[in-house]
Structure formats: structure tokens, C-alpha cells
Chains A and B, each alone.
Chain A
């Protein structure tokens, strides 16, 4: 059974507009690598040039922040889902959602 990664709206242009992507792997890190292999354009939004997860991109395994689990080494079970939760600034004014 594959695992699902929820793609937030601002990153959907890089996943052919898909809101979720099925991926496989046994750790959080492997799922993310599978995702960015399928959608190369996502890589620079999730990883630094040194290959580290960017710290303004939060990754959740089910409802838990992976920073409080074992980060990218966190094991995943079949059916677990990952969410990428980027910071979004949009609100009151024009130039809607200045998601920078």
C-alpha cells in the first residue's frame, strides 16, 4: 500500500496540479526523495543546495511534526500520510497570498 503526500496549494504547480501524490519508501526521507524524483521542480523548494530539508518547510507524518519524531529517518507504516506545510503569508490585502 503506497503512502500519500499532501501537496499544499502553493507547491501544486510543481506536481502537475495534483493535491496528493502516492509515493513509496520505508522512511519519511525516502518518501520525500521519491516525490522529488517524480517531480524534479519541487526539489529546490524543499531542499537546500546542500540537500538538507529547508527549515521553513514543515513536514508532518500524519498529524505529527517530523522534527519531534526522528526527522527524515522516521519510519513509515503502510497507509501513513505525509503533509508538507509551508508558511503562507496571505491575508488582508491585494496581490493575494504573497506566498514568497
Chain B
């Protein structure tokens, strides 16, 4: 028996008995789990099931990097958080849940956004990094920081009904950049247009991440290194693809060009939004209209053409009376349906997709197009609180 591993108390032996009776885990394996630590980047959809199973399994230390607050819309899938935690910080809520599941687990929380300034410092004290983030800059940041600190990355990603999982950045295996050397440019595919996620999907993918973390920590089985798992919940199919370590990889290749963390927002082509409040003449401008201004227009008898570019299922939830639905993806083949002689107001949920619609309409010759600032959500906040928000 390895003397450097922590001992198990009588309580712990009782708690972990279903592990202990399996020779593949046994006392040694359970002590390794107790000695192990996992840092969850994000205490959300993926981090929830992963952290809960790791806690129940007896992981010694769990870290959470998050700065978000629990919202009602999280509860459909983020099981770390319950109804009574709405409004609480996700870290605090996660800590309570984990402590209740297993008081033997040490929980450390970091109320911060993971950044190039803090990632290396945060990662160095953990055995495995569990990537449950939701955006490309952080994905690349996590990957590069894992390679630079030599920590394996239990990777998971979800989109609607489909999930992906792998283990990146082990010494022998490929990293995320071997698979995707560059991110897609922002805006090429509509971002939140086809968004949403089946609540149980992160359960499946997050548990794969937890499984891989436990295997890495105990050294049993065949880890998901050099393999990429794709799960389709609708068809209930798993597919596995081969991944290779790319000798030309800029981070983990033989002659790396990325030897320290960089500006990942810039790498992913994301520029900070111009601060419109600084523009003279306050918040009104030529390309934007606020919900209150739109309401005034309508009350004054004007008849702008309100173009809702969301998806039909979103339109069922709430809408501006008199608006016309053409989803952003259909606009290129349907823009001829729009009147050329009326002012067009583009509108979506929060203003992002409708800004793309506005750009597109300008590119095909429409001149009198304004984007509704803040989308239907701000409309509901400022003008029509009778409608539900999502």
C-alpha cells in the first residue's frame, strides 16, 4: 500500500464500500481518489453532474471557478443549484450542495472569470481540469493553460441535442488545438439562433468528464485520450473519432510558438463592443431604436415593419404585436418578402441576431433599418411586462 496516500476513516470506508469491493478501485484506488483534486471551470450544466458525482465518489478536493449567479433558467439542467439557491452565487450554491453530498470533500471556490492572468496559478494545485465553459476564448485559454501546466483537460461540450467529450493535453495525447488549431470567426454561424440545450444532455457529457477524471486519478481503464466522443441524444448514438497529436501544434507540438498565455478574446476575433452611451446625443442613433421609442412610434400611428428574426418556437413564447417572423437563417432566401418603402425594425431575443439581420439587410440594399435594442427582453421590461420572458 502506498504510504503517501491519505487513510480512510471508518465512516469513509462505509460510504465508499461499493468502490472498495471492486478490485479495480479497492482501498488503494479510493485513497488515490481522496488524494485527488479536480478544478471545475464553470459550475453550470457540465460542472454540475461532474462535480456531484466526483464528490459522491470521494474526490479529496473540488475547485469551482465561476462568477455567475443562479438564475431560474439554470435549473432545467444545472443540478448543483436548486430553487432555493436562485439569486445566490453559483460557487456558494455549489459548495452547499457538495458539502451536503459528501462532507469529506474540501471545496475551494474562486469568484472570478478565468483569465490569462490567473489560469496558470489556479491550475497548478489541481490534478485534473474539467472544462465546462461555454465560449471559444475560454476553451482555448483552458487548453493552453493545461498544456503549459501539464494538467489533463477533461473536456466536454454541448449543443442542443449533441455533445462532445475527450481528454486533452496529456503528455502523450493531443490537445484541443491539435483538433481545432483556430476558432471559427465570430458571426459566421448565427450564435444564439439555434441555441438551447436539452436539459439531460449535460448530464450525460458531464458524467463522462467525471468518469475520465476518476480514471486519470486512479490510473485505471483506458482514458479517452486520442479519441473524440460524439453523442447524439435524439438518435441515442455514440460515435468515436480518432485524434492525433499534431507535431505542428502551436502549443503542444515539437516547436511550440505559444509558450505563454495570450489574449484569447483577440485570438477568437472578438472585439469589445463600442460604448454607445459615450456617443453624443445619448442612446439614440441611426442604427438603433429603444423599446420606448418604438412604442412612441406605434402610439403615434407610424407603421414600421417589425421583423422578428428568432425561431418559431421562441415566437410562440412572446412577441411584439404585429411583428413578422422570419428566422435569421431564412432571411437570405426570404428578404424579398420585406417592404422596401417602410422603415424596418429588426428584433430578436436580446439584440444580437437582429443586429446581424440588420447588417444583412443593409448588404442587400435596404437603407431604412433599425435594430431594436435589447430585443424582446428589453421590450418586456420597458413596455409590455405582461408577457413571459425566457
**A residues engaging B (CB < 8 A)?**
6, 8-11, 13-14, 19, 41, 44-45, 54-56, 58, 60, 63-65, 68, 83, 85-100
Query: Is there contact, CB below 8 Å, between B134 and A97?
Result: yes
Chain B residue at minimal CB-CB distance from A58: B179
Given A45-B188, A63-B241, A89-B135, are A97 and B230 also a contact pair (CB < 8 Å)? no
* Category for how many chain B residues contact A: 35 or more
Query: Is there contact, CB below 8 Å, between A88 and B158?
Result: yes
A16 to chain B, nearest CB (A): 11
Closest 10 CB pairs of A and B: A92-B44, A92-B42, A97-B159, A96-B197, A9-B162, A91-B134, A96-B195, A87-B180, A56-B184, A93-B134
Query: Is there contact, CB below 8 Å, between B241 and A85?
Result: yes
Among B73, B158, B161, which residue has the most Cβ atoms of chain A within 10 A? B158
What's the dominant secondary structure at chain A's contact region?
loop
Residues from chain A with Cβ under 8 Å of B74 in the complex: 94
Complex Cα–Cα for A8 and B228 (A): 14
Given A19-B232, A93-B42, are A100 and B184 also a contact pair (CB < 8 Å)? yes
Checking B46, B131, B195, B242 against A98 with a beta-carbon cut-off of 8 angstroms, the contacting residue is B195
A82 to chain B, nearest CB (A): 11
Residues from chain B with Cβ under 8 Å of A13 in the complex: 193-194, 329
Given A8-B162, A83-B239, are A88 and B189 also a contact pair (CB < 8 Å)? no
Tell me the B103-136 residues at the A interface (CB within 8 Å).
Answer: 131-136
Chain A residue at minimal CB-CB distance from B136: A89
Query: Is there contact, CB below 8 Å, between A65 and B242?
Result: yes
- Asked if B304 is at the interface (CB within 8 A of a chain A CB), the reply is no
Residues from chain B with Cβ under 8 Å of A8 in the complex: 162
Chain A residue at minimal CB-CB distance from B74: A94
Complex Cα–Cα for A100 and B192 (A): 8
Query: Is there contact, CB below 8 Å, between B45 and A10?
Result: no
Checking B68, B161, B186 against A93 with a beta-carbon cut-off of 8 angstroms, the contacting residue is B68
